Amino acid sequence: MSNNEVSSSSVTHRLPTIQSGYNVLLRLPNGDIRGVKVDKDATITVGRLGSFFANELIGVPYGFTHEIVDKNLKIMPPRTLQEVEDTDATNELINDGESVQPLTIDEITALKQSGVHSSDIINKQIEAHANYSLKTEYSKEKYKKRKEAKYSKTFTTIEPTLFNVCDYWFNKDQTRIRDIRADTLSQILNLANVRPGGRYIAVDDASGLVICGILSRMGGEGRLITICDTDSPPAYPVMVQMNFDPKSVNGVLSSLNWATAQEDYTPVLPPSDVPAEDMKSERQKARLKKRKLVTDALASTREELFAGEFDGLIVASEYDPWPIVQKLTPYISGSASIVVQSPYGQILDDLQNKMRAVPSFLCPTVTEGWLRRYQVLPGRTHPTMMTSGTGGFLLHAIKVYDDPEASAVETHRSHRNKKAKMGQPQVVIEKESTLLDSEMAVE
């Protein structure tokens, strides 16, 4: 690590400054977010904004707004919200469709090419604007903002927190992360009691978002076994933006697939124990050594899974969740959480119906996250006009060890009350007794 001051003082595994080799998210003036790779001595090009030297970002903390000036970067002072004066102006005299902007595209292009600063172009446009003075102050501010988004050569670096990375993917392509919005992801991690030092089993068909969440919360301490449907674990696209320290991932994360995760299956592997006299070359030796490492790692991961006693099971899969839950529940300990995510409520409704018939699942509950963001501007605070309609559904249950001998205090359904003796005083606590049977009350 080049920056030893930070690495020694910080217990966090991701340095709080941008390092060479990182994938960094940039927020452009128009609100778009772009990911760039920051490699030492490289030049980074960001579409219309032009290009700059990557070294300008290396070692710099996240969160600043930078302006590109001759391929160098200038840190802009933090911008706070501006109070807007209320005036009597209205749009009474402003009509749509009238040509109010005498500055032509050619003229603007010429200004841009002559190297005039974006704020000067905007001022020229305002001067030439026929109706600018008629606008309300709110409208003037909106106009300036729109023009800035068009002409300014600035961007803001976004710290790759779990929240920010989730938000980026959700806005970019929410189907690829199975509609998991940041609030739902947070609920998954809390419900599954993900913590440093915990041991978890996860199934992630959400581009690795859930795995990133678990790894991020574990901070390099604990164990995560994932099960995938491919020969070897896929390269999870979400992990790219997280910039995890390889050390915090390698020691923690191991993967199996649905075949190698079967106890009665013997994986077909090429032999790695070849007698020494058969070794022909150094290259062959190296290859066999590598093969042996892979074989041993697979065997030990299988052993670890089958030994069980994991602290939680987290599923966000495109496969039927019921066989997944049935197969993996034996490997989690008593009182451990099971969290299943789906973009569709009905899939979890079906799962809940199946789970509540099995006494080893305590209180399977289906929930849906609800999130509303507000625009906060002085005098103009209101919920955003457009918002995400769904962040996916969750089912949560706790694994318990059933005792078939135990019976409810009283039940109103005779078939379940096997141990009830005749002539017992009838204390009717109907609702509670049904719930005790780990069922949701169906009224």
Site for other proteins in 191-210 (CB under 8 A): 191, 193, 195-197
CA distance 130 to 101: 7
Residues 6+ apart with CB under 8 A from 128: 101, 102, 103
Q: Segment contacting other proteins (CB under 8 A): 119-127, 218-226, 264-272, 276-284? A: 218-226
Q: Segment contacting other proteins (CB under 8 A): 129-137, 143-151, 266-274, 435-443? A: 435-443
Here's the x/- map for other proteins, 266-295, by CB under 8 A: it reads as: ------------------------------
Residues that contact other proteins, how many (by CB under 8 A): 97
Single-letter code of the amino acid located at 439: E
CA angle at 37 for the pair 32 and 40, rounded to the nearest 5°: 135
CA distance 113 to 322: 62
Q: What is the dihedral of CA 189, 195, 196, 199, to 10 degrees?
A: -80
Is residue 353 a contact residue for other proteins (CB under 8 A)?
yes
Q: How far is the CB of 40 from other proteins (least distance, A)?
A: 8
Q: Among residues 47, 378, 389, 423, which is the contact residue for other proteins, using CB under 8 A?
A: 378
Q: Among residues 371, 413, 428, 430, which is the contact residue for other proteins, using CB under 8 A?
A: 371
Is residue 161 a contact residue for other proteins (CB under 8 A)?
yes
Single-letter code of the amino acid located at 423: G
Q: How far is the CB of 150 from other proteins (least distance, A)?
A: 22
Q: Among residues 121, 177, 180, 182, which is the contact residue for other proteins, using CB under 8 A?
A: 182
Q: Segment contacting other proteins (CB under 8 A): 129-137, 142-150, 299-307, 358-366? A: 358-366
Single-letter code of the amino acid located at 101: Q
Residues between 299 and 318 with contacts to other proteins, criterion CB under 8 A = 309
Single-letter code of the amino acid located at 236: Y
Q: Among residues 138, 143, 400, 412, which is the contact residue for other proteins, using CB under 8 A?
A: 400
CA distance 40 to 56: 9
Q: How far is the CB of 366 from other proteins (least distance, A)?
A: 4
Q: Is 43 helix (H, G, I), strand (E, B) or coil?
A: strand
Q: How far is the CB of 21 from other proteins (least distance, A)?
A: 12
Q: How far is the CB of 231 from other proteins (least distance, A)?
A: 32
Q: Where is 246: in which H helix or E strand?
A: helix 246-250
Is residue 407 a contact residue for other proteins (CB under 8 A)?
yes
Closest to other proteins by CB, 208 or 228: 208
CA distance 357 to 227: 26
- Cβ atoms < 10 Å from Cβ of 70: 10
66: closest CA among 56, 55, 58, 74? 74
Closest to other proteins by CB, 91 or 171: 171
Is residue 221 a contact residue for other proteins (CB under 8 A)?
yes
377: left (phi over 0), alpha (psi -120 to 50) or beta: beta
Question: Length of the chain in residues, anyone?
Answer: 443
Is residue 366 a contact residue for other proteins (CB under 8 A)?
yes
Here's the x/- map for other proteins, 227-256, by CB under 8 A: it reads as: ------------------------------
Is residue 422 a contact residue for other proteins (CB under 8 A)?
no
Distances 428 to 160, 408, 412, 437 between C-alpha atoms, Å:
55, 11, 8, 15
Closest to other proteins by CB, 215 or 225: 215
Q: Segment contacting other proteins (CB under 8 A): 62-70, 85-93, 168-176, 236-244? A: 62-70
Residues between 8 and 37 with contacts to other proteins, criterion CB under 8 A = 10-13, 16-17, 19-20
Is residue 43 a contact residue for other proteins (CB under 8 A)?
no
Q: How far is the CB of 272 from other proteins (least distance, A)?
A: 35
Strands 393-399 and 332-342, how do they pair? antiparallel
Cβ-in-10-Å burial (0-12, 13-18, 19+) of 109 comes to exposed
Residues between 63 and 82 with contacts to other proteins, criterion CB under 8 A = 63-64, 75, 77-81
Distances 12 to 64, 196, 264 between C-alpha atoms, Å:
21, 12, 41
